[in-house]
Chains A and B, each alone.
Chain A
Amino acid sequence: MTATTAIEITGLTKSYGDTEVLRGVDLTVPTGTVFALLGSNGAGKTTLVRILSTLLRADSGTASVDGHDVTGQPEDVRGSISLTGQFAAVDDILTGRENLELVARLRRLRDARGIATALLARFGLSDAGGRRAGTYSGGMRRRLDLAMSLAGDPPVLFLDEPTTGLDPQGRIEVWKSVRELADRGTTVLLTTQYLEEAEQLADRIAILHEGRVIASGTLAELRALFPPATVEYVERQPTLEAIFLAIVGDHDNHARHDDAVR
């Protein structure tokens, strides 16, 4: 079961007082996929991620991650996951390298230095590694945050709104990192309120609305739920984002992004 299913959720509920946040969530995330949980603010995305990462207890229902029950075996779940929360949880006073070494040591990995060096290089932070994280830009902080989550290569990664509050360049940087993760076979559950982000990154998408999953499947499957639109040929105008990136001269990212859009 663990070989094919990374996350299995059945009938999960959670209320805060009279407010029902989750009203019976069922969800299956296959191993090695990038799974986007799409929903507006207050749909319950963060609550679900917090339950899956053992920070919060569900009222009823079951959830397992990498074959471990979140209520019964929270220690094992924590060993299998990494969480990147909504706000970059990095230590501003430590340098980028020290942040990575800290996480590697807490995970009891051998050669924390070597792991930090490799992650800094992988996330384009080698030059900034010796600087305090407090001096980083928003995009760099997010990348460091992601890099910290990857120390020890946990099989399952939760990304809670990974690009909220980032500028377009920062967002493209994060997207690029997530795609690389997917290529390495990590299961990624990401929450987002941006439709484009789900479309760009995810193999499968679930729509969470008012505490329930109301649709789930690949983009093609979701598209099939709706009648095809009438085909019309229109001149393709560049998006404002494409214009912005062209003007500020980030050609590399621009090309990559444009490629992905196509």
Chain B
Amino acid sequence: MSGHLVHDTSVLLTRSLRHVLRSPDTIITTAVTPVAMLLLFVYVFGGAIHTGGGGKYVDYLLPGILLITVASGVSYTAYRLFTDVSGGIVERFQSMPIARSAVLWGHVLTSVLATLVSLALVVTVALVMGFRSGAGVLAWLAVVGLLVLFTLALTWLAVIPGLTATSVDGVSGFSYPLIFLPFISSAFVPTAGMPGPVRWFARHQPVTSVVDTIRDLYAQQHVGTEGRLAVAWSVGTLLVAYALAMRTYRRTIG
């Protein structure tokens, strides 16, 4: 059975990657919004924002922008899955002797790969804008690993609207809260300046711990509790989203 899953997933991954390669605009549009925010915040608002660290604002900002890239990337996954379900091809796959969850894994892995390409685009733009990090190979690997974990978690979350939505608008609507979440975190400004309840929320939501961890890794600082918390948030979200997505899948598709 597990052999089936790997084989069938790789066949469906190839198919789904072909979709992405034939509409490369999805990778670019995934990167457009985060890049626009990067430009806006660095060159328009940045001068008025004091992060207290003394470093460049683009260095402070990039980790949060990366998470926004992930959020906008996974919304395409929801869209692609929705198209498959409404077009009837998922039903065709389900009536074939293949591993049941391969259909979802194909989309999820495509999401991770496409998002990684978009992330690379955003980092490139940031480098042009003056972002610098002395982080070594291990720290960069840790950043990539955490981003992959976070992408997996959000992708499984995106599978749910992809399966259940009744219209394209419904699918794209789900990503707005995900893109908005970084604003109420330490992504753009330090949480210290926020009023009480907002600060409490900002300090206790996953984006802040993930952003702070990536920031520490880039700044070559020790990653302690914050890092463990970031991994715990990501793994926790991943497990819950995976369980919910699989349950939804069994219910809606059979």
Contact = CB atoms under 8 A, between A and B. Distances in A.
Interface stretch (B56-64, B88-96, B225-233): B88-96
Contact of B96 (A78, A85, A91): A78
A54 interface: yes
B22 A90 contact: no
Interface string B10-27: 011001001100110000
A106 B98 contact: yes
Interface in A133-188: 148
A144 to B, nearest CB: 12
Given A54-B254, A83-B91, A83-B92, 6 more contacts: A55-B91, A78-B98, A87-B87, A88-B88, A106-B12, A108-B7
8 contacts: A56-B254, A82-B96, A87-B87, A92-B87, A98-B18, A105-B11, A106-B96, A148-B92
A124 B73 CA distance: 40
Interface residues of B, number: 22
Given A55-B254, A56-B254, A106-B11, A81 B95 contact: yes
Interface in A57-96: 57, 75, 78-79, 81-83, 85-94
A94 B92 contact: no
B133 to A, nearest CB: 38
A107 interface: yes
A253 B96 CA distance: 33
B94 A89 contact: no
A47 to B, nearest CB: 12
B97 interface: yes
A50 B92 CA distance: 11
B15 A102 contact: yes
A94 B11 CA distance: 13
A53 interface: yes
Contacts, number: 63
Interface in A87-119: 87-94, 98, 102-103, 105-108
A89 B15 contact: no
Given A56-B254, A94-B15, A107 B89 contact: no
B181 to A, nearest CB: 32
Interface in B75-124: 87-89, 91-98
B89 A91 contact: yes
Contacts of B98: 78, 106
B88 A87 contact: yes
B19 A93 contact: yes
Contact of B11 (A54, A55, A92, A102): A102
Contacts of A89: 87-89, 91-92
Nearest to B8: A106
B202 to A, nearest CB: 41
Contacts of B7: 108
Contacts of B92: 83, 85, 89, 103, 148
A90 B254 CA distance: 20
B95 A83 contact: yes
Contacts of A85: 88, 91-92
A93 B98 CA distance: 22
